[in-house]
Amino acid sequence: MFPEIPEALINAVLRCKRAVVCGHHNPDGDCLYSTLAMGVLLEKLGKDCVLVNDGPFTAPEIADYAERISSSIPRSFTEPDTLGIMLDCSTWDRIESFKDIFRTFRDVVVIDHHANGGKTGNLQYVVPSSPATTLLVYKLYRRMNVDVTPDAAKYIFRGFATDSGFFSFLYADSAPVFDIVSDLVKHGVEPYAEYNYLMCGKTYETIRYLAALIERTETYYNGRLAVSFEKPEDSNLFGQNTRASDEYYRQMLSIRETEAVILFKISKKREHAWELGLRSSYSSNIDMGAFATEFGGGGHKKAAGATLDGSYTEIRKKVLDAFGKFTETC
């Protein structure tokens, strides 16, 4: 499940004096907590580092940490010998605001667990079999003989817990994951407290937004596919930073005949663009990661995404028609 980390990557981290750590825009828990855990690692190694992301920090499980992340790279961190570290993504478009500076760095490390990534960076540790990027950061701690602090253990656990649906997306080959979790518990993680923090902090606006998304849902292909969408006025009705997508996916996939969910989200990065949230159920053969590549996106078999330019009506028809063709043999 976890191959050896390339020696060249280890040497680059040890050799650097300063580093910029960046996750993908619109970060989720795995992205944000990978960034924080990597920051602790670099500080333990005596490196100067800055953690950057252009947000938005809408996921409720990460909102408390938004102020720890910078929206820009300081001038002193733009020299070519600065080490760039990309987490939970492996294509330049996922770090749109910072890609031009990253491209000037002599070494760029990519640590990711998405299967459909690119060849960005000259030093990669990309492991699609890992349930979360934070677990790959944990492996870096162990490989470099750096003590896992209580804060680092908490960050690593939270990233894993959010990306694995709090253990619900694991398969029979996951014994190494439980070994890591056991070690994190020994370093101070209390799973019950973490569950309460991650899963029980929703706002009333989030529940109202979830109800709206469910009310807009339509089903296709004999109920196999459930589809909903955001409206421009949602941010005014439910709050700028209210996010209900993860709970929406869970609710829709709990329906017996539903195998896949598509959520059309208004892009906060590009005008006249829509982001696709793509999910499929445990029992489904539909590979959403492969489906996302048809639109220049990517991700995992069960969870993926893409961004398309155009009107909602045009994009919706294009995506639904493509889904029908894609699933003819599934």
- Contact, 235 vs 274, CB < 8 A? no
Q: What is the pLDDT of residue 113?
A: 95
- Please name the residue that has the structure tokens 């439980």: 178
Q: How far apart are CA 123 and CA 143, in angstroms?
A: 16
Q: Which of 244, 254, 255 is nearest to 277 (CA)?
A: 244
Instruction: Give every residue of the chain whose pLDDT is below 50, as ranges.
Output: none
Q: Is 15 exposed, middle or buried (0-12, 13-18, 19+ CB in 10 A)?
A: exposed
Q: Which of 291, 197, 274, 280 is nearest to 229 (CA)?
A: 274
Q: Where are the domains of the chain?
A: 7-198, 204-326
pLDDT tens digits along 257-310: 999 999 999 998 788 999 999 999 999 999 999 999 999 998 889 999 999 999
Q: How far apart are CA 313 and CA 327, in angstroms?
A: 21
Give the per-residue SS3 of 8-34. HHHHHHHHCCEEEEEECCCCCHHHHHH
Q: What is the pLDDT of residue 241?
A: 75
Q: What is the largest CA-CA distance in the chain?
A: 58
Q: Which of 158, 104, 152 is nearest to 131 (CA)?
A: 158
φ, ψ dihedrals at 274, nearest 5°: -125, 140
Q: Which helix (H) or strand (E) holds 157?
A: helix 150-163
Length of the chain equals 330
3-state secondary structure of 237: helix
Q: What is the pLDDT of residue 115?
A: 76
Q: What is the pLDDT of residue 191?
A: 97
Q: What is the pLDDT of residue 102?
A: 98
Provide the strand spans (E) within the chain. 18-23, 48-52, 83-87, 107-112, 123-126, 218-220, 225-229, 260-266, 273-280, 298-299, 303-309
Q: What is the pLDDT of residue 118?
A: 67
Contacts of 120 by beta carbon, 8 Å cutoff, 6+ apart = 86, 90, 91, 92, 108, 110
The DSSP call for residue 102 is H
- What architecture (CATH level 2) is domain 204-326? Roll (3.10)
Q: Which of 68, 32, 25 is nearest to 49 (CA)?
A: 68
Q: How far apart are CA 126 and CA 111, in angstroms?
A: 6
Structure token pair of residue 150: 């209580």
7-198 under CATH 3.40.30.10, yes or no: no
